[in-house]
Amino acid sequence: MELSSFKRITIQHQFDRFAKLVIAGEAKKHKKELVWRSSNEKLFSELSQQEQDRLCIKDVYPSDYYRFTVAGYDVLVENEAVGEALSYLPKEKREVILLAFFLGMNDCEIAACLDRVRRTVCYQRTSSLKQLKDFLEEYQYGKQSKGKT
């Protein structure tokens, strides 16, 4: 069965119209998606440094910390200078500093925990802080002088 030329042209027009509708619908859908993307997505190059910093994840390794054990607690110190300074303190003074500043205990609690007199704990804490200050000043001065040469 042959189609008449009129029917053939009609079918071609119907197909042409259908194809145009599909293409127009896809174009509309694509434009809508572009509008959505422009309002909801940002390029990395457009992000501020603060926004980029929020997206980053820092790898954490046990070797990045100084680990101290005091009264059954593990204390991790990330700062290299502070960790180095604490490791140079005598054990008794280091325990007092760790309990006071890293575990938040007061002198009475530290004295009870370490079985020492409260006044001894107070003296060890103040003298340790002076030693730490001196060490950290030397450490900082050493880093600055290395950077200048």
Domain ranges of the chain: 5-54, 64-148
Asked if pLDDT for residue 88 goes beyond 80, the answer is yes
Span 36-57, pLDDT tens digits? 998 998 888 888 899 888 888 8
For the residues 97-107, what does the mean pLDDT come to?
Answer: 91
For the residues 10-31, what does the mean pLDDT come to?
Answer: 96
List Cα–Cα distances, 120 to 77, 116, 117, in angstroms.
Answer: 25, 7, 5
At 146 the pLDDT is 59
What is the distance between the alpha carbons of residues 74 and 66, in angstroms, rounded to a whole number? 10
Residues in the chain: 149
At 51 the pLDDT is 87
For residue 68, what are the β-bridge partners?
A: 75
Residue type, 94: R
At 148 the pLDDT is 55
Asked if pLDDT for residue 24 goes beyond 90, the answer is yes
E strands, the chain, where? Answer: 66-70, 73-77
At 33 the pLDDT is 96
Q: Which CATH architecture has domain 64-148?
A: Orthogonal Bundle (1.10)
Query: Which region holds residue 65: left if phi is over 0, alpha if psi is between -120 and 50, else beta?
Result: beta
Reported pTM: 0.57
